[in-house]
Structure 1
Amino acid sequence: MRMSAPAAVQMDSTVDIQDVAVRFRSRKRDVTALREVSLSVRSGEFVAIVGPSGCGKSTLLKLVSGLLRPSTGQVRLLGTEVRGPRRDIGYVFQRAALLDWRTARKNILLQAEMRAMPSAAARERADELIAMTGLTGFEDAYPHELSGGMQQRVALCRALLHRPPVLLMDEPFGALDALTREQMNVELRRIWRETGTTVLLVTHSIPEAVYLADQVVVMTPRPGTVDELIPVDLPAERDYGRTMAEPEFARVTGRIRDLLGAATSAE
């Protein structure tokens, strides 16, 4: 039996999306990207979003960040309606988007400059994040001197510099090789547990979603809506290899594949 998204706002929710639809209009046609999407994310929860290409996963993150307004429905973040771009989030994209002429540390501190954060506190926070993400020794390296995985670590540090209560991640490891991606999954899971930040992750990787998340949101083909919410009943401490061998891991990944396979055949 499929689990529908909660209709009522949860009191401890950090993100609440209620009956949201997004429609784009052009001269040639109207496109409905999302329809009747409802989702509540609790404080400190890690939620992964998966679905077919073009189903509106990235659009959902743009709604939460305030970069896009819903055509109908409402999005609330930290108890207030999202009416425009929010400064109380962190955002990590598929590409690190680092400035070539700035070192790793200065790329991280760009966040502080944009937000006019006190310089001493920002430098202290940057040092903390550099140590947390294993970048010690590479603080003064330029982007071209860093591997893809290291560049994404810098981007993650930049996003976390101002201690955002909500971190949005849009396919952040999609461009990495398989081994580096696994390593980044392990690092992200550890960093999330240390920071307690609420995370919404968009990914095309089913194993990545299940390894990282407390709950996986499976979306339908466009116009995207929530097909099923799947809780992930795995230990908080997750060794990568042992987690992959867990019966619960196989159950959840299998269920997601069934849903996405059905979605694909229905297109």
Structure 2
Amino acid sequence: MTLRKTSSTPVPTKGVPAVAIDAVDVRFRTKKRDVTALSEVSLDVRMGEFVALVGPSGCGKSTLLKLVAGLLAPSAGEVRLQGERVRGPRHDIGYVFQRAALLEWRSARRNILLQAEMRRMPAEAARARADELIAMTGLQGFEDAYPHELSGGMQQRVALCRALLHEPPVLLMDEPFGALDALTREQMNVELHRIWRETGTTVLLVTHSIAEAVYLADRVVVMSPRPGTIREVIEVGLPAEREYGETMARPEFASATGRVRGLLGSAGEGG
């Protein structure tokens, strides 16, 4: 199923990156010392591209997402979304966190439509969009279920639908499947990749799983320990359509995961 595009979807300027991070530094001051979280980070993410960020804990991956979302201001440098400088919280993006953060007293459908209420979207269009997303993510039959009646994977599907309801040009994902068991995580990887192909949304994903990063992304950005810098950007080189088991056996997958592990300095890092 392919989601229809509505007139509310932003029209990108040709040749302008979806996300442009230019020479960004982030510094924090604590009671005891100054901490540099990110140093001289530059990255362009193309329209419709899927980019994964991997690196050691504390290297600034989640901080980068907050910069793009406008939840944090850089100490130096700038961030642009579709050519527009980010100067504060952006309401046009989608954001998915590790925890689904669903309201326990609302059904799956009403949790999805919470986005529409907050944004004052036209009710009929929001319901139609929710129906499309529910069908796309395999939630039919669970629309009226409450969070405690849903598995962890289903809760994350609801959270993903909620983030995509307003057709954001950029979707930020911060370890969205980190709390799931291994089998459910694999299934969600497959679902996310299919949904990304069908919607064409630009995705920036933070993950500690090397396999997840390589399976999902067009490019994998490998970051250094704090202060976070970009050590290397790896072109994955896999086909657009990726069957999970077959992809794991491809030489391109082995080459990319091996390169990431080598850069991180630990063959056991991230799975």
TM-score normalised over the length of structure 2 = 0.93
Pair 219,263 (structure 1): closer, same or farther in 2 beyond 3 Å: farther
Check the 8 A contact 1:220/1:263 in 2, yes or no: no
Once residues 262 and 137 of structure 1 are traced to their aligned partners in structure 2, the CA distance between those partners, rounded to angstroms, is 43
Query: After the TM superposition, which segments of 4 or more aligned residues of structure 1 sit over 2 Å from their partners?
Result: none
Question: Partner residue of 2:106?
Answer: 102
Match of 1:93? 97
Task: For structure 1, list consecutive stretches of 5 or more residues without a partner in the other structure.
Answer: 1-9
Whole-Å separation in 2 of the counterparts to 1:171 and 1:129: 21
Cα distance in structure 1, aligned partners of 2:91 and 2:209: 29
Paired residues of 1:221 and 1:263 also in contact (CA < 8 A) = no
SS at match of 1:40: strand
The residue aligned with 2:210 is: 206
The aligned counterpart of 2:163 is 159
- Letter of the structure 2 residue corresponding to residue 72 of structure 1: A
- Offset, 1:156: 0.0
Q: Is the 8 A contact 2:261 2:267 kept in 1?
A: no
- Do structure 1's residue 48 and structure 2's residue 52 form an aligned pair? yes
1:191 aligns with 2:170: no
The residue that corresponds to 1:128 in the other structure is: 132
TM-fit CA distance, 1:263? 11
Following superposition of structure 1 onto structure 2, how do residues 11-90 of structure 1 map, counting pairs within 5 Å? 11-90=15-94
2:28–2:36 contact (8 Å) kept in structure 1: yes
Q: Which moved more, 1:21-30 or 1:136-145?
A: 21-30
Task: Note the residue ranges of structure 2 that are not aligned, 5 or more in a row.
Answer: 1-13
Q: Does residue 141 in structure 1 map to residue 145 in structure 2? A: yes
In structure 1, how many angstroms separate the alpha carbons of the residues matched to 2:200 and 2:100? 22
Report the secondary structure of 1:54's partner residue: coil
Displacement after TM superposition at 1:88 (Å): 1.1
C-alpha distance in 2 between matches for 1:27 and 1:56: 20
Q: 1:26 deviation in Å?
A: 1.6
Aligned residues: 255
The alignment-based identity, stated in percent, is: 80
Deviation of the 1:12 alpha carbon: 3.0
Task: Please tell me whether the aligned partners of residues 17 and 39 of structure 1 are also in contact (alpha carbons under 8 angstroms).
Answer: yes
Counterparts of 1:212-227 in structure 2, within 5 Å, are 212-227=216-231
1:132 deviates by 0.2
1:11 is displaced (CA, Å) by: 3.2
Give the drift of 1:262.
6.8
SS at match of 1:258: helix
Deviation sequence 1:118-149 (CA, Å, 0-9, x none): 00100000000000000000000000000000
Question: Is structure 2 residue 241 aligned with structure 1 residue 241?
Answer: no
Please report the TM-score for the alignment, with normalisation by the length of structure 1. 0.94
Alignment deviations for residues 151-175 of structure 1 (CA, whole Å, 9 cap, x no partner): 0000000000000000000000000
Task: State the AA in 2 paired with 1:182.
Answer: E
Using the alignment, how far apart are the partners of 2:177 and 2:30 within structure 1? 32
Matched residue, 1:173: 177
Cα deviations by residue, 1:211-241 (Å, 9 ceiling, x for unpaired):
0000000000000010000001011110000
- Measure, in 2, the Cα distance between the counterparts of 1:79 and 1:235: 29
Alignment partners' CA distance in 2, 1:262 and 1:40: 27
